[in-house]
Amino acid sequence: MQRVCFLLKVRAERIEEYRERHQPVWAEMRAALTEAGWHNYSLFLREDGLLVGYLETPDFERARAAMDATEVNARWQAQMADFFEALDGQAPDAAMRPLTEVFHLV
């Protein structure tokens, strides 16, 4: 199982709305993530907008591609894109760059 951690930056003026939008994550989005192989997926948001994401998956590129192929993901990403800084024209999920793991306590 691959452990994946990534960072994104939520715009300071949108932090509260971003939190609110994640209270009722669409059931169809949650189901699509699970079916695509996103397990133990969590998002953590610091008060300055730093977003830390973590998930476990057998193959991150395959899991990301599976989500990219869904209609629900296209709708979700379109709605969430304006919340983030420095996406350089990419959807938030395409801007995820996994961090290199340097230590893991089993």
Confirm whether 22 is a catalytic residue.
Answer: yes
Range of the domain at 32: 2-83
Q: Read off the pLDDT band of 21 (50, 70, 90).
A: very high
pLDDT of residue 90: 81
Backbone angles phi, psi at 92, to 5 degrees: -55, -40
- 10 pairs with which residues across the strands? 84
Is residue 77 a part of any domain in this protein? yes
**Is residue 106 one of the residues assigned to a domain?**
no
In a domain, 57, yes or no: yes
Q: Is residue 7 part of a domain?
A: yes
86 has pLDDT over 80: no
By three-state DSSP, how is residue 21 classified? helix
Report the domain count for the chain: 1
Give pLDDT tens digits for 43-68: 999 999 999 999 999 999 999 999 99
For residue 88, name the pLDDT band (cuts at 50, 70, 90).
Answer: confident
**Residue 100 belongs to some domain of the structure:** no
CB 4 within 8 A of CB 49: no
**CATH number assigned to the domain comprising residue 18:** 3.30.70.100
Q: Is the residue at 12 inside a domain?
A: yes
* Distance between CA atoms of residues 98 and 11, nearest Å: 20
Catalytic-role residue among 22, 46, 62, 75: 22
Task: Assess if residue 74 is contained within a domain.
Answer: yes
Rounded distance between C-alpha atoms, residue 58 and residue 37, angstroms: 7
> Which helix (DSSP H) or strand (DSSP E) does residue 9 occupy?
strand 2-9
User: pTM of this prediction?
Assistant: 0.90
- Residue 42, in any domain of the structure: yes
